[in-house]
Amino acid sequence: MNDQPTILAIDQGTTSTRTILFSAELKILAVQQKELKLHYPRKGWVEQNPETIWQDTLEVCRAILERTAGRRAEAVTAIGITNQRETTILWDRKTGKPVYPAIVWQDRRTGTVCERLRAQGFEPMVTARTGLLFDPYFSATKIAWILDNVEGVRARAVRGELAFGTIDCYLLWHLTGGRVHATDVTNAARTLLFNIVEQQWDADLLALFDIPAAILPEVRDNAAGFGVTDPALFGREIPVGGMAGDQHAALIGQRCFRPGMVKSTYGTGCFALMNIGPDFRLSQHRLLTTPAYRLNGRMVYAVEGSIFVAGAAIQWLRDGLEFFQDAAASEALARSVPDSNEVYFVPAFTGLGAPYWRPDVRGMISGLSRDTTRAHIIRAALEAQGYQTLDLMAAIEEDGGYQADVVRVDGGLVANGFMCQFLADMLNRPVEVPKVTEATALGAAILAGLAVGLFAGLEATERYWQRDIIYTPVMTEAERKRLYAGWKTAVQSLLHASGNAAAEPAVSDSRQ
């Protein structure tokens, strides 16, 4: 028997639902995971079944509690939730039944609505209040789509019979047996309806998107009382204390608590967030401004930038070109050659994000010669992560007004030591990989622990952050400049080859 307090983190992602049980020292005790399907009913549409999401969540929670029964369920002190952001669900407040499938963040069906609103000149006002841009990615146009396209839904919404929520909010509602309809600032901030300066739902934005306020959840701090679980679920009431969208949770999991600290997550795509402190500031490079977290009513902001394709480039080399069978093999192959032999790989499969903002361009491999081998191309694909991050970092640092001393990284790709070393060389600063790379779930656990008093404050959790590896720059300045100049030339030739179509805002299409 072990009665040490534990924290259960629920990490509901786009392709899987996981729970991780953490000790009070934030060590991983157990992990339970279930894959989740995406549905593509039409071109550009991406949906998921909300009931499956809830049932999977319940299943993985129950399974982990059973597996760790030696640690009594009583030991679970709190639950924290982190989630894929923006994904939109409307459900009946009485029955809990969704009125339509979840419209996933990747769904592009509301693209023309966003274009129209932009053409009408609303974007500066919306950006000033939300830190976001017009893009189908965010929840508002998805909510409006359901209200306008599912019969009877708008009338029911206006009568107060329906509830809206992103995944966090929908799971909380079910976990509390329908008693709590609440979300947190980081998730609310991704709807395009929440004013992150005034920190409340914005009546003008609700009017702009024609969304009735009656469907909205209450917005709370990231560590707060979110109610207790329905005893019918786990045999007892467990407090839900923490909640944050996945990228924000990762920032917390990486303990980026001081302004200027940066975390960068390399999964399918790459998401970098810099803590910029308590003052809201708009980006000059069309990056997003977003809450990092709010605790005890005090907001801390972050600048967020995304690279559309990170690990997806490695997946493409594996599945599209069949260069190797396992992503891990890319490291030895990249190291088998002394350099990329002047090959540059710009993985713009879905366009280029910050600071280029060219959704119209597509990928390119340049510098091919008769002696180019697949190892050179693989190496170029990994090096591209370093170049892309340097491009993004320059924008983030200018917007944030800080220089990052170190960059803390996580995500599947950081298993690749070659990539991490090249990243440190390009950024010309240390890159730190933590012992616990499950930064997202860790962030949710920290928030939940804070809410129930397991930790005295955020700083009290810093001592549990342990570095696994630090990559320090070893490349000479001349070499770094030469390589980066080659990347810039490659990108410029791609931009020119694709014409000078006006840049339009784009937000990542590949991640989580």
Options 141-149, 306-314, 364-372, 499-507: segment touching ligand ADP (CB under 6 A): 306-314
Which residues between 422 and 441 bind ligand ADP (CB under 6 A)?
none
CA gap 89, 53 in Å, rounded: 11
CB of 489 to ligand ADP, least distance (A): 25
Extract long-range pairs of 395-398: CB within 8 Å, 24+ residues apart: 395/283, 395/285, 395/287, 395/305, 395/354, 395/355, 396/262, 396/272, 396/274, 396/287, 396/303, 396/305, 397/274, 398/284, 398/285
State the DSSP code for 292: E
> Contact 100/29 with Cβ under 8 angstroms?
no
Binding mask 324-363 for ligand ADP (x = CB under 6 A): ---xx-xx--------------------------------
* Side chain identity, residue 22: F
CA dist., res. 432 & res. 275, Å (int) = 17
Which of 192, 396, 413, 451 forms a contact with ligand ADP (CB under 6 A)?
Answer: 413
434 vs 449, beta carbon nearer ligand ADP: 434
Residue 210 to residue 249: CA distance in whole angstroms: 31
312 binds ligand ADP (CB under 6 A): yes
Answer yes or no whether residue 227 interacts with ligand ADP by CB under 6 A: no
Sign of CA dihedral 52, 139, 250, 511: positive
Which residue number, 165 or 411, has a Cβ lying nearer to ligand ADP?
A: 411
* Minimum distance of ligand ADP from residue 312's CB (angstroms): 6
| Contact call for residue 311 and ligand ADP (CB under 6 A) | yes
Q: What is the Cα–Cα distance from 112 to 141, expressed in whole angstroms?
A: 10
Q: Are 157 and 90 in contact (CB under 8 A)?
A: yes
Binding of ligand ADP by 315 (CB under 6 A): yes
CB closer to ligand ADP out of 315 and 366: 315
Distance separating alpha carbons of residues 376 and 222, to the nearest angstrom: 45
Determine contact, residues 238/482, Cβ cutoff 8 Å.
no
* Minimum CB distance to ligand ADP smaller for 222 or for 512: 512
List 101, 291, 305, 411, residue binding ligand ADP (CB under 6 A): 411
CA dist 201 and 312 (Å) reads 35
Structure tokens at 390: 């340097």
389 Cβ contact partners less than 8 Å away, ≥ 6 residues apart: 264, 270, 272, 307, 407, 423, 426, 427
Q: Which is nearer to ligand ADP, 401 or 412 (CB)?
A: 412
Q: Is 512 in the site for ligand ADP (CB under 6 A)?
A: yes
Kindly tell me which of 264 and 289 has the beta carbon lying closer to ligand ADP.
264
* Closest separation in Å from C-beta 386 to ligand ADP: 13
CA 64 to chain centre: 24
d(CA 194, CA 198) in angstroms, rounded, equals 9
Interhelix angle 417-427/374-400, nearest 10 degrees:
40
Among 162, 249, 272, 314, binds ligand ADP (CB under 6 A): 314
According to DSSP, the β-strands at 218-220 and 182-184 are parallel
The reply to whether 199 sits near ligand ADP by the rule CB under 6 A is no
Partners of 315 in the beta sheet? none
Question: Residue 82 CB, nearest distance to ligand ADP (Å)?
Answer: 12
Q: Report H helices in 305-409.
A: 311-319, 329-335, 374-400
Measured between alpha carbons, how far is 4 from 70 in angstroms, rounded to an integer? Answer: 11
**253 in contact with ligand ADP (CB under 6 A):** no
Q: Which two tokens mark 72?
A: 């009594």
Min dist CB 57 to ligand ADP, Å, is: 17
416 binds ligand ADP (CB under 6 A): yes
Answer yes or no whether residue 367 interacts with ligand ADP by CB under 6 A: no
* Contact pattern from residue 254 through residue 293 relative to ligand ADP, giving x for each residue in contact according to CB under 6 A and a dash for the rest: -------------xx-------------------------
The DSSP bridge partners found for residue 28 are 22
Minimum gap (Å) between residue 70 Cβ and ligand ADP: 29
Q: Binding to ligand ADP by residue 461, rule CB under 6 A?
A: no
Q: Which is nearer to ligand ADP, 154 or 248 (CB)?
A: 248
Q: Where do the DSSP E strands lie in 145-246? A: 162-165, 182-184, 194-195, 200-201, 218-220, 240-245
Q: Indicate the residue among 137 and 234 with the shorter CB distance to ligand ADP.
A: 137
- Nearest residue to ligand ADP, by Cβ distance, number only: 412
Question: Which C-beta is closer to ligand ADP: that of 301 or that of 422?
Answer: 422
Per CB under 6 A, 98 contacts ligand ADP: no
Task: With CA atoms as reference, report the closest residue to 331 among 349, 313, 307, 314.
Answer: 314
Number of residues that bind ligand ADP (CB under 6 A): 18
With CB under 6 A as the contact rule, which of the stretches 65-73, 210-218, 278-286, 413-421 interacts with ligand ADP? Answer: 413-421
Mark residues 3-22: x for contact with ligand ADP by CB under 6 A, - for none: ------------x-------
Which residue is associated with the tokens 């308590």? Answer: 278
Q: Tell me which residues touch ligand ADP (CB under 6 A).
A: 15, 267-268, 311-312, 314-315, 327-328, 330-331, 411-413, 415-416, 511-512
